[in-house]
Amino acid sequence: MGGHSNWPEWIYIGVVVALMCWVGAEAWEAERLVEHVPEGAETIIVTGQQWFWTFEHEDGTKEIGELHVEVGKAYKLEIHSKDVNHSFNIHDYVVLMDAIPGRVNTVWFAPTDAGEHDIQCREYCGLIHYNMRGKLIVEDPTA
């Protein structure tokens, strides 16, 4: 009975604790990157309403259904809803945030390539939900 060694169990526990610390550190870093809006990011107010999106830039420029941005700039989107729950989605930039009446949700992104990308609502918001689409137009100011 006295010859039993339990060092394999201690090694197992050590490996599991090390893995949990590594996964926790990676998750913390990912969360920090998502939550940290870069300095100098332009704020754009995004409003969802049945069944279109409106955008208001910091300089007061307003757009309906189309959002024009520039390559290489960071943008902070403040997402609102005027009526029911919506969900703002730019699939190509992995931007997905709920638009809830009475609440402002924020998300940021920085487009890297010029081109056009689809914007759509990802929350069923009424009979014409399928038609609640928009266009993200990323422009290269040097071109």
pTM score, whole prediction: 0.79
Per-residue pLDDT reduced to its tens digit, 51-67:
999 999 999 999 999 99
Residue 1, pLDDT score:
54
The DSSP secondary-structure symbol of 83 reads S
| Under 8 Å between Cβ of 55 and 63 | yes
User: What contacts 57, CB < 8 A, 6 or more positions away?
Assistant: 42, 44, 63
Bridge-based pairing of strands 86-90 and 115-121 is: antiparallel
Per-residue pLDDT reduced to its tens digit, 75-91:
999 999 999 999 999 99
Exposed/middle/buried for residue 78 (C-beta within 10 Å: 0-12, 13-18, 19+): middle
Bridge-based pairing of strands 42-49 and 75-81 is: parallel
Residue 5, pLDDT score:
86
